């Protein structure tokens, strides 16, 4: 993996040794000063006191509007409270980690940045550009979410929306980026044409002679 530009946002004046240890362990990042933050789409935010949480939330919201990814490192376990973590995630943090209780912290950060880099690469692929046109931030974030689910999980997906909003297009996107080797061809089924009594057999099959 090439070095990735990461903006370091430092709210950790009480933890210089922890900060130094963390940054030294992450040889895959090219850390930047706050003045160069516009060149970074990733932000590593270090905080070691509760008084700075409010300011950190404001910073997260600003970065979220630019569709940047932010990783928050809480330097002390007492800061890692459910309410605090929820507020940080709700304000735009992509990941919130406990410095002392997260095993292989540098590896976790690297794996997530790798994951986001893959998603961005697929988002700008020719398939997406040719089949899912749109430039709004909301649409791009929707595509990022769909691509992440398709590539990195085996989860089932329910896509809801009004007629003509693009549900079939998104379904084909999921199938296209599905990495399972045993996937079959994409099959489109119009549920409105299925009778209630026979829908089970249409979806899941039936044994020979079941209707005789």
pTM for the structure as a whole: 0.81
pLDDT band at 35 (very low <50, low <70, confident <90, very high): very low
Side-chain half-sphere CA neighbours of 101 within 13 A: 10
**Does 129 have pLDDT greater than 70?**
yes
**Does 136 have pLDDT greater than 90?**
no
Q: Is-contact 97 84, C-beta < 8 A? A: no
Taking alpha carbons only, the member of 147, 132, 155, 13 closest to residue 75 is 13
Percent of the chain residues past pLDDT 90, beyond the cut: 60
Token couple for 190 = 């119009």
Question: What is the phi-psi region of residue 164: left when phi exceeds 0, alpha when psi lies from -120 to 50, beta otherwise?
Answer: left
Q: Is-contact 72 15, C-beta < 8 A? A: no
Q: Which residue has the tokens 């409270």?
A: 81
């Amino acid at each position: 993996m090439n070095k990735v530009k990461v903006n370091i946002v430092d709210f950790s004046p009480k933890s210089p040794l922890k900060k130094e240890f963390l940054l030294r362990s992450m040889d895959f990042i090219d850390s930047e000063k706050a003045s160069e933050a516009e060149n970074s789409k990733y932000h590593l935010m270090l905080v070691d006191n509760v008084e700075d949480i409010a300011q950190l939330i404001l910073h997260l919201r600003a970065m979220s509007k630019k569709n940047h990814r932010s990783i928050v490192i809480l330097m002390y376990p007492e800061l890692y409270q459910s309410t605090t973590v929820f507020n940080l995630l709700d304000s735009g943090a992509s990941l919130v980690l406990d410095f002392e209780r997260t095993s292989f912290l540098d590896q976790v950060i690297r794996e997530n940045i790798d994951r986001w880099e893959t998603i961005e690469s697929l988002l700008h692929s020719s398939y997406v550009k040719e089949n899912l046109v749109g430039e709004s931030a909301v649409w791009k974030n929707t595509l990022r979410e769909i691509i992440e689910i398709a590539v990195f999980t085996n989860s089932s997906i329910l896509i809801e929306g009004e007629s003509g909003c693009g549900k079939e297009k998104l379904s084909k996107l999921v199938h296209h980026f599905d990495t399972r080797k045993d996937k079959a061809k994409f099959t489109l089924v119009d549920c409105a044409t299925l009778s209630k009594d026979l829908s089970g057999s249409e979806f899941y099959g039936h044994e020979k002679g079941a209707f005789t």
